[in-house]
Structure 1
Amino acid sequence: MDSTTFRRDFPEFSDKTVYPDAQVEFWLTVAVSLVNPCVWGELTDQAMELVTAHHLVLGARDQKASSVGGIPGLVNGPQSSKAVDKVSAGYDTGAVTIDGAGFWNMTTYGIRYITLARIFGAGGIQL
């Protein structure tokens, strides 16, 4: 797995200014320790890519916050409502978050990863 393959599979990360190769490679290296090929089999690379994408999104949020004088690394959960003047919007965050997934619920990539991880962690299923 390398940054070129990752960017091919996840073209939304193709901007090397926002997502430099060094950063992509860093998170791919971390993903190697989080994804057991004996468990993931043929989906090992996809799991590593989801872990990497998750961390890249969190890093981009931190970078954006820092660039406008905010605090990078500040933890925010899924937004459940917002009001501006007389207009408000609410979202059912429970519909898209996974109980007990914590940190992985912070991006769609994390949700995809933890969903698959839990399926693989369930072991064989007989009907």
Structure 2
Amino acid sequence: MTYNDFIQIFPEFSEFPKVRIEFYLSEADNQISENRFGKSTEFGKALFTAHYLASLDNGQRTGAGGEASKGNISNGAHGAVASKTVGSVSVSYDTASTSFDDAGYWNSTPYGKQFYDLLKRYRRMPFAVTGRASWP
């Protein structure tokens, strides 16, 4: 996956520094195996990269809530509105309906949730390790 391919798929990251995007694309190459994902390997790499970039909010984080000061990458809650208040504006989301119980950090962005779903679908279990281990 190249920088240009990634930006065509996820144009919302076009204002992020190219070097940062290329760094996470390189990490995706190191961590995402075609043996595991098959034809969805490039999709997995794109979601992996998008998740980490969205988590960083382009380095524009401001205090409480972690909202970005500019840009449109949302790192906040997603899901059905569970409650709301009009005076002094308040809202809460039912994140349980859009989160995976065991996904942890991957639940923090929509890209991470999609990546985690992809991981679950392409789970190749059980793994068998053959050979002999040697200790130094």
TM superposition score category, shorter chain reference? 0.7 to 0.9
Summarize the Cα distance change of 1:106–1:81 in structure 2 as closer, same or farther, 3 Å threshold. Answer: farther
Contact 2:76 2:109 in 1 (8 A): no
The CA distance in 1 between the partners of 2:42 and 2:28, in whole Å, is 9
- Which residue of structure 2 lines up, in the alignment, with residue 48 of structure 1? 45
Query: Which contiguous aligned blocks of 4+ residues in structure 1 show a shift greater than 6 angstroms?
Result: 79-82
Larger Rg: 1 or 2?
Answer: 2
Cα offset for 1:42?
Answer: 1.2
| SS of residue paired to 2:102 | coil
Structure number having the greater helix percentage: 1
Name the % identity: 35
Q: Deviations over 1:27-74 (max 9, x none)?
A: 01111222111111111111000000000111116x222xx4x38x9x
The CA distance in 2 between the partners of 1:57 and 1:12, in whole Å, is 10
- Specify every segment of 5 or more residues in structure 1 that has no aligned partner in the other structure, as ranges: none
Please, what TM-score do these two structures have when normalized by structure 2?
0.71
The CA distance in 2 between the partners of 1:84 and 1:50, in whole Å, is 35
- Specify every segment of 5 or more residues in structure 2 that has no aligned partner in the other structure, as ranges: 67-74, 126-136
Equivalenced residues, count: 113
Please, what TM-score do these two structures have when normalized by structure 1?
0.75
